[in-house]
Homo-oligomer: A and B are copies of this chain.
Amino acid sequence: MPTLTSPAELRAAARRGEWRGTTGGHCPAYQQANLVILPQDAALEFAAFCTRNPTPCPIIEITPPGEPEPARCAPGADLRTDVPGYRIYRNGKLAEQRGDIRDLWRDDLVAFLLGCSFTFEHALVEAGVTPRNVERDTMVSMFVSNLACVPAGRFHGPMVVTMRPIPEARVDLVRELSGRYPHAHGAPIHIGDPAAIGITDLERPDYGEPVPIQAKEIPMFWGCGVTPQAVAVKARVEFMITHEPSQMFLTDLPRDGARR
C-alpha cells in the first residue's frame, strides 16, 4: 500500500473495499482508534469499564445508540464501512470477519472509539527511536498481565499490555514522549522485569508477534486497547463488532490532542 497522509482518503479506500491491511504508519499527523460496537444494554457498563480503566481504554468518542457517524472525531465518516476490516463476535465467540457491516447495523448499537498506540509510535519514529515492530512491520507483542482492571458490571479481567524493547539510553525519552499521549495509552505502566507484572516469556506473546530483544534493551510495557475487547469476549456479550487487529479507524483529530 502507498503511505497515505489523509484520514479521509484512507477511510474512503476502506469504504470502497480497496484497503484491507494495517493502518500502522499511515496518516502520522492523526489519531487512530480501536473500535468496539455493543448493544445498548451492555454499553453503559462498558462505558463505565472504560472510564474506570483509562490507561488501556482511553475514550475518544462514544456514539449515541443507532448513530454510525462519529460526529466529533470524523464528521461525515461511517463506522459501518470506513474501517478496513471488522470482526463479528456472538456470545463471546468470533463468528465472522468482513469488510463492511452495513447489513448488521441496528438501532440499539453503540460505538466506542478508544485510543491506540499507533498514535504515539509516530512520535517515537520521528524522535529516531523506531519501535522494533514498526521496523520489522509485524504486529506489536501483546501480553495478558496480572494487573487487574477495575471491574464494572459484567466487565472484569486483567489488563492486556503491549511490549516494545527500547535501548537503555532511550528509555527516559520514550517514557516522556509517550506520556504526552494520554489519549493513546500515555506513559508506560511498567518498565523492566516482565515477571513483576506476571509475564513469564516475552517470546510467547498472547496476541501479536514476538520480537527479538537485543543487548542493552529494556522491555517497556503500555496499556493496550485489546483489553476492553478481551473483557467483552470473556463476559460473553451476545453481540459485539470490533476492528480487525491493527486495522484501525482513522480519525481527523490531530495526533497531539484536540480541543473542544
Q: Which residues of B contact A59 (CB under 8 A)?
A: 51, 59
* Complex CA distance for A72 and B64, rounded to whole angstroms: 24
A259 touches B61 (CB 8 A): no
A29 sits at the interface (CB 8 A) = no
Given the known A-B contacts A71-B150, A150-B71, are A260 and B55 also in contact in the complex, defined by CB atoms under 8 Å? yes
Smallest Cβ-Cβ distance to A50: which chain B residue: B62
Question: Taking the full assembly, how many copies of this chain does it contain?
Answer: 2
Q: Which residues of B contact A55 (CB under 8 A)?
A: 259-260
Given the known A-B contacts A64-B152, A189-B259, are A72 and B47 also in contact in the complex, defined by CB atoms under 8 Å? no
A44 sits at the interface (CB 8 A) = yes
Smallest Cβ-Cβ distance to A149: which chain B residue: B260
A151 sits at the interface (CB 8 A) = yes
How far in angstroms is the closest Cβ of chain B from A233? 19
A-B contact pairs, 12 of them (CB 8 A): A43-B44, A44-B44, A44-B47, A44-B65, A48-B64, A51-B59, A55-B259, A59-B59, A63-B152, A65-B153, A150-B260, A189-B260
A241 sits at the interface (CB 8 A) = no
Q: Which residues of B contact A61 (CB under 8 A)?
A: 48, 51-52
A251 sits at the interface (CB 8 A) = no
